[in-house]
């Protein structure tokens, strides 16, 4: 089973990275921004540029997946008891 829920910390990181990236900061500058404030990755490590890239990339994929409409359609169900 997949876990589609972010912890508060994960959601904070994604939202902050997204805002800083939209303002024009690069991945390394964003990682420095977190490290200067002693904010750690979800696993408790210092930030690096590739962590920032990965969080942003996976967050965008997650937003797309959760925003899609379902293609499921249930039609004509029959139940027989013998």
pTM for this model (two decimals): 0.74
**Residue 38: which region, alpha, beta or left (left: phi > 0; alpha: psi -120 to 50)?**
left
Tokens standing for 78?
């029959």
For 15-61, what is each residue's pLDDT tens digit? 999 999 999 999 999 999 999 999 999 899 999 999 999 999 999 99
Is 36 a member of any domain? yes
Cβ–Cβ < 8 Å for 47, 35? yes
The pLDDT of residue 9 is 92
Q: 30 lies in a domain?
A: yes
Of 62, 68, 81, which is closest to residue 17 (Cα–Cα)? 62
In a domain, 47, yes or no: yes
pLDDT exceeds cutoff 70 at 3? no
Residue 18, domain extent: 8-66
Where is pLDDT greater, at 58 or 65? 58
Whole-number pLDDT of residue 72: 76
């Amino acid at each position: 089973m997949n876990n589609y829920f972010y912890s508060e910390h994960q959601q904070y990181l994604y939202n902050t990275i997204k805002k800083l990236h939209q303002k024009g900061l690069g991945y390394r500058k964003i990682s420095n921004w977190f490290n200067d404030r002693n904010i750690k990755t979800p696993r408790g490590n210092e930030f690096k540029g590739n962590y920032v890239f990965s969080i942003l990339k996976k967050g965008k994929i997650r937003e797309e997946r959760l925003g899609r409409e379902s293609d499921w359609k249930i039609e004509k169900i029959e139940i027989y008891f013998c």
